[in-house]
Structure 1
Amino acid sequence: MAGHSKWANIQHRKGKQDKLRSKMFSKLAKEITVAAKMGDPDPDKNPRLRLAVKASKAVSMPKDVIDRAIKKSQGGDAENYTEIRYEGYGVGGIALIVETMTDNVNRTASNVRSYFSKCGGNLGTSGSVAHSFDRVGEISYPASAGDADTVMMAALEAGADDVESDEEGHWIYCQVEALSEVTEALEKALGESDEAKLIWKPQSRTEVDLETAQKLMRLVDMLEEDDDVQTVTHNFDMSDEVAAQLG
Structure 2
Amino acid sequence: MAGHSKWANIQHRKGRQDKARAKLFSKLSKEITIASKMGGPDPDMNPRLRLAVANAKGQSMPKDNIERAIKKGQGGDVEEYFEIRYEGFGPAGVGLIVEASTDNKNRAASDVRAAFSKNGGNLGETGSVSFMFDQVGEIRFPLSIGDEEAVLEAAIEAGAEDVTQEEGSEDEEGEHVIFCAREDLAEVSEALEGRFGEAKSANIIWRPQNLIEVDGDKAATLMKLMEALEDLDDVSNVYANFDISEDEMGKLAS
TM over 0.5: yes
Query: Is structure 2 residue 25 aligned with structure 1 residue 8?
Result: no
Contact residue 166 and residue 177 of structure 2 kept, 8 A: no
**Count of aligned positions:** 245
Which 5+ residue runs of structure 2 have no aligned equivalent? 168-173
CA distance in 1, matches of 2:161, 2:46: 24
Q: TM-score, normalised by structure 1?
A: 0.93
Paired position in structure 2 for 1:84? 84
Paired position in structure 2 for 1:65? 65
Query: Is structure 2 residue 215 aligned with structure 1 residue 209?
Result: yes
- Report the AA paired with residue 229 of structure 1: V
Structure 1 residues 16 and 160: CA distance shift in structure 2, 3 A: farther
**C-alpha RMSD over aligned residues:** 1.7
CA distance in 2, matches of 1:146, 1:21: 26
Which 5+ residue runs of structure 1 have no aligned equivalent? none
Structure 1 residues 17 and 85: CA distance shift in structure 2, 3 A: farther
Aligned ranges for residues 1-247 of structure 1 at < 5 Å?
Answer: 4=2, 7-8=5-6, 10-12=8-10, 16-165=16-165, 168-247=174-253
What SS does the corresponding residue of 1:115 show, helix, strand or coil? helix
Structure 1 residues 7 and 27: CA distance shift in structure 2, 3 A: closer
Q: Higher relative CO (CA 8 A, sep ≥ 6), structure 1 or 2?
A: 2
Identity in percent: 56
Shift of 1:165: 2.5
Shift of 1:23: 2.6
Which one is further off, 153-162 or 166-175? 166-175
Contact residue 139 and residue 183 of structure 1 kept, 8 A: yes
Runs of 4+ in 1 over 6 A off after TM superposition: none
Shift of 1:150: 0.9
Contact residue 17 and residue 24 of structure 1 kept, 8 A: no
Contact residue 5 and residue 237 of structure 1 kept, 8 A: yes
Contact residue 7 and residue 243 of structure 1 kept, 8 A: no
What SS does the corresponding residue of 1:44 show, helix, strand or coil? coil
CA distance in 2, matches of 1:223, 1:189: 36
Shift of 1:180: 1.3
What SS does the corresponding residue of 2:44 show, helix, strand or coil? helix
Please give the per-residue CA displacement for 1:213-238, whole angstroms capped at 9, x wherever unaligned.
11001111111111111111111111
